[in-house]
Amino acid sequence: MDRIYYFDNAATTRVSPEVIDEISKYFSESYFNPSSIYTPAQKTKEAVEKAREKVARAFNADTKEIYFTSGGSESDNWAIKGIAEAYADKGRHIITTAIEHHAVLHTCEYLETKGYEITYLPVDQDGLISLDDLKKAIRPDTILITVMFANNEIGTIQPIGEIGKIAREHGIIFHTDAVQAAGHVPIDVKELNIDLMSMSGHKLYAPKGVGALYIRKGIKIKNLIHGGQQERGRRATTENVPGIVGLGKAVESACANMQEETERQRRMRDRIIDGILSKIDHCWLNGSREKRLPGNINISFEFVEGESILLLLDMYGICGSSGSACTSGSLDPSHVLLAIGLPHEKAHGSLRITLGRFNTEEEADYLIEKLPPIIERLRQMSPLYEEYIKNKRG
């Protein structure tokens, strides 16, 4: 097979060797149902509980506050619908942001059809919400604030500690979608006053189809999945033992190497950003330069389409992503790029490159070398660019 240069780690990550090592026996010799009574099944139950301890420890939570789910989308759905229903007698107003992942946005839109009112906070050009806007949006009937930890498209990290403090002072429950942040930046749920937090295995080198929801002790929540008594009666279905064990291992190893790996990715990220911005005209970085995930690069190129860039990069084995049109199955540009103020035509020409622990400096060199001629070639074919050059010459 031809070589692949994988720069789409915000979409999913490769399962790490140490995770595969740890989980493979739970497909074969240790396949038992953790609810069964015999000794071998008790061992699989222990493995699940050990994973729960690892996840709890990583975020300074209690073991009993961690619930395993099928992924980030389920965790978001459960948190938002479960709180909305449990606290409906207190109020039906929820505050979120315009740049949430669809797992949060579409859940909020669904609740609007059930009589809930949602405030979608705007963001500034870096993708940050304003704490003043948040305070002003709070009403006596506000029951939930849900703000993502870090954005999946532009990498912007919100002031989560400040948001948590405001929520706690007002006695409002605070949920954060930390799918892009967990295992990538340090998170202490107590220090940050987080009440519920979503995470997903496949964004941090564990398998797809497993995630977790942290629910602080004392928070009431309705069940999303009804059935058996798994997860202390709060989420039915036979445990995804290999997935859960993998999530535990992945979180543990992410925390063990976080500082070093974060520094390495940040350096690579900045080198790629500076390389691209200095070699190519008419392009800019989207999202905050400082308050940014260590592995996120999102650059807009004028006069070209994001999908065209992706198609040409693909010919060189480079995997990236774009916030626009065809790739996302709709003609609308990314709601995130529109929310940070890009006009429609400029929101179409963006490229997202997301780094992970398996990316090397040599791969970064390859990307920095291949991209400029691709943009140049696309601009040579672009009527918009032709017009721009003509006008410039006068």
Ligand X SMILES: *Cc1c(COP(=O)(O)O)cnc(C)c1O
211 binds ligand X (CB under 6 A): yes
Answer for the pair 156, 291: CB distance below 8 angstroms, yes or no: yes
Q: How far apart are CA 40 and CA 342, in angstroms?
A: 57
Of the two residues 68 and 301, which places its CB atom closer to ligand X in the complex?
68
Q: How far apart are CA 200 and CA 278, in angstroms?
A: 35
Single out the residue of 179, 241, 313, 340 in contact with ligand X (rule: CB under 6 A).
179
Closest CA to 72 of 247, 245, 218: 247
For residues 64 to 103, the per-residue mask of contacts with ligand X, x marking binding by CB under 6 A and - elsewhere, is -------xxx--x------------------------x-x
Q: Which two tokens stand for residue 46?
A: 């222990």
Task: Give the SS3 label for residue 144.
Answer: strand
Of the two residues 84 and 304, which places its CB atom closer to ligand X in the complex?
84
The nearest distance, CB 79 to ligand X, in angstroms, is 11
Q: How far apart are CA 360 and CA 327, in angstroms?
A: 26
Of the two residues 73 and 156, which places its CB atom closer to ligand X in the complex?
73
In whole angstroms, how far apart are CA 301 and each of 157, 284, 311, 346, 355? 23, 7, 15, 8, 20
H helix and E strand count, the chain: 14, 12
326 is catalytic: yes
The nearest distance, CB 248 to ligand X, in angstroms, is 16
Of the two residues 211 and 371, which places its CB atom closer to ligand X in the complex?
211
Single out the residue of 200, 230, 265, 382 in contact with ligand X (rule: CB under 6 A).
200
Closest CA to 344 of 292, 305, 290, 296: 305
177 binds ligand X (CB under 6 A): yes
Segment lying near ligand X (by CB under 6 A), choices 17-25, 126-134, 200-208, 322-330: 200-208
Single out the residue of 119, 180, 253, 359 in contact with ligand X (rule: CB under 6 A).
180
* Residues with catalytic function: 326
Instruction: Catalog residues that contact ligand X under the rule CB under 6 A.
Output: 71-73, 76, 101, 103, 148, 152, 177, 179-180, 200, 202-203, 211
